[in-house]
Structure formats: structure tokens, C-alpha cells
Amino acid sequence: MSENRTELESLGEFGLIDHLTKQFENRNSSTLVGIGDDAAVVSISETEAQLISTDMLIEGVHFNLMYMPLKHLGYKAVAVNVSDICAMNAVAEQITVSIAVSNRFPIEALEELYEGINTACKVYNVDLIGGDTSTSMSGMTISITAIGRSKKTNISYRSGAKENDILIATGDLGAAYMGLQVLEREKEVYNANPAIQPDLDGHDYVIERQLKPEARVDVIRFLKELDVVPTAMIDISDGLASEIMHICKSSEVGCHIYDEKIPIDAKTSMTAIDFNLDPVTCALNGGEDYELLFTIKQEDFDKIKGNPHMTPIGHITHKNDGMYYIDKSGSAIELQAQGWNHF
Ligand code: ADP
Ligand code: MG
């Protein structure tokens, strides 16, 4: 370690990953893609590859046990990892689970966590094949690795989007962020006066999207049935704007997305307005929806047109045209990623 001290926040999450890993080279020809996509891609035969992805959840950073039941936490920890395998147009088959827990937690609490993990294993048809267990000085940390498999020719990378491809978002966006706002608001009310009961009425949908997100394995199945291989794909964990920018940067292209096309559930809009927030801003910059964002060739558009799970939100342009969001008045606004920055 040098004597200089550089603060973590000077680089941000992606800058830090890049800074730490740039001197690494891949030494094995089986490593098809390493750092930089939703999952690493490792060749296992002439035609097949394995997809591997890890995500860590930390108490106080990614979850708050005051409003996150442990069962839901276990489920969510699996779902977000399965989502990263979906983002490669593949399905997960195995997971490993590593936990570090302080003695604040009784065995019953960990049983509840594992009940949620088990439910997710059943729903997503994945096998728990290992992990690691340790004590921690404070709080709980869960790290999950998901492993999937796919034909090499079916894998969608962040880097494959081409000019004129259509940008598609699945489901609806911004709900998980609004769920978090409701839960945080009620936490503040409770902290100020524990006698007041939380008022979660009318917010069931957004709260469920925050506490129990689903990986879109159903969309991966639809795409297979429809015989569509997305030219590029990513999962929406950090907000639509940030994910579109990842695809555009990796693919060296630009984009236009249209305000009025962004899918937002009416219940999300109502909650956003209640909080004096613009629903579209929540969809663009709120995190944790775990929907998929992908690009398809124009000629594949007829196959997905009208599908209630998939909404066209814009198209890919030349890199020199930049990355723009077109608002309701037709003005083009340059996209800015806010996303989550934990540092
Ligand atoms: P996602 O949001 O899809 O989970 P991340 O933004 O966490 O992806 O990570 C981006 C890329 O950087 C991934 O390829 C991931 O494996 C890699 N990565 C993240 N942290 C590290 C690390 N500490 N060392 C090596 N690679 C890392
Ligand atoms: Mg991802």
C-alpha cells in the first residue's frame, strides 16, 4: 500500500472496480467474458457456456431488517442473482450462499432466512450447492453466486446493440423505489413515535415490488418460445437510465428513449405524486426493479409486438448522436445515470 490516501468516493463504484481490475488478464481460453457484464461466461463445451454471477447484500446498506422480514430477504437475495443470469438470456441452475452473522441473530432468524432462500430455489428451479458461514462483528451479510448454462449462440451481452435496434423494457418501472420511499417514511414515523401504527394502506403493490422482487425467468422463456435472441441485454437493478447507458457504452452506440413510452404502473405514479416526485424520474433513476432491458433487431419486432410483458421504449442510434431521453414536449434531454452509489 502506498502512503497516499485516496478516498473511495473519488472513483465511485464502477471507477473503483475498473481501477482494481484493469491490470488483470485472462489466462485461460475457456474464459470467454470476464468482468464487465451481468455474468461471466465460461466455455464448457464446443457449443455451451456456463454463466456465473455474484451479488452481495449488506445489512444497513442493501436492506434494513426493521421492515424487511428475513424470509423476504432470503427470497430477494436469490432473485437478484437469478436476475443477473436472466440478463444474459439464460436461466440459473445452481446457487451458493455465504453468510456472515453476528450473535444478535438467534438460530430461528437464520431458519427464516433459509426458508425464503428455499422458496426461491423452488420457484426458480435452482439447487443450493454450497456456500460458507462465518460470524461477523456486527450485522448480517449475504453473498450469493448464481450459475447458469446456455448455448453460446443464445447468450446476450451488453455489447451487442446495433444502430436501429429497438429498446424493450419488461414489466413496469419505478415501483421498487416508491416501495422503499413508503417503508422509509413509515420507519421515520415509527422512530418518532412507536405507538403510531404504520400506514401502508394502498401501497401494497409498490411495497411488494421492494420486498419481493422477481427475476424475469418467464421473459427468458417467452423469448425462447418466440425465437428471439436479444442483441443486447441487462437487468434493471440501478434504474433505467444507468442501465441504458451501460448498454450504449458497451455497444458503442447512442439511443433515443421516449418519456411517454416508459412503462409505469398507475399505483407507482400515484405513490410518486403523493411524495411530490415525478414518476418518470423514479423509473429512470430508482433502483431494484429487476426487470430486463434489451435490444432486438427491427425484423424481430413483429414477434414481440403487443406482448403485455414487453414495452418498446425507444431505439438505438449512432454513437455520435448521443444518449437522449425525449420528454412529452418533444425536447431531447441528455441521459444521466444516477443509480446507486454506495460510497
Ligand atoms: P451487476 O450490477 O450486474 O451485479 P456490478 O455492477 O456489480 O454488476 O459489477 C460489474 C462487473 O464488475 C461484473 O462483471 C462484476 O463481476 C465485476 N466486479 C464487481 N466487483 C468486483 C470486484 N471486487 N472484483 C472483480 N470484479 C468485480
Ligand atoms: Mg446485473
Pocket probe for ligand 1: among 14, 17, 26, 243, the residue whose CB has the most ligand atoms within 8 Å is 17
Q: Which three cell numbers stand for residue 296?
A: 432486438
234 CA distance to ligand 2 middle (Å): 6
Tens digits of residue pLDDT in 257-313: 999 999 999 999 999 999 999 999 999 999 999 999 999 999 999 999 999 999 999
Flag whether pLDDT at 340 surpasses 70: no
Task: Identify which has the larger pLDDT, 32 or 67.
Answer: 32
Tell whether pTM > 0.85: yes
- State the average pLDDT over residues 91-117: 97
Ligand nearest to the CA of 238: 1
List pLDDT tens digits, range 134-175. Answer: 999 999 999 999 999 999 999 999 999 999 999 999 999 999
Quick: pLDDT tens for 274-286. Answer: 999 999 999 999 9
Nearest CA to ligand 1 atom 23: 17
| pLDDT single digits (tens) 6-21 | 888 888 888 899 999 9
What integer is the mean pLDDT of 315-337?
93
The pLDDT score that the predictor gives to residue 6 is 86
Domains and CATH numbers, the chain: 55-145 (3.30.1330.10), 166-334 (3.90.650.10)
Is the CB of residue 93 below 6 angstroms from any atom belonging to ligand 1?
no
Closest ligand by atom to 12 CA: 1
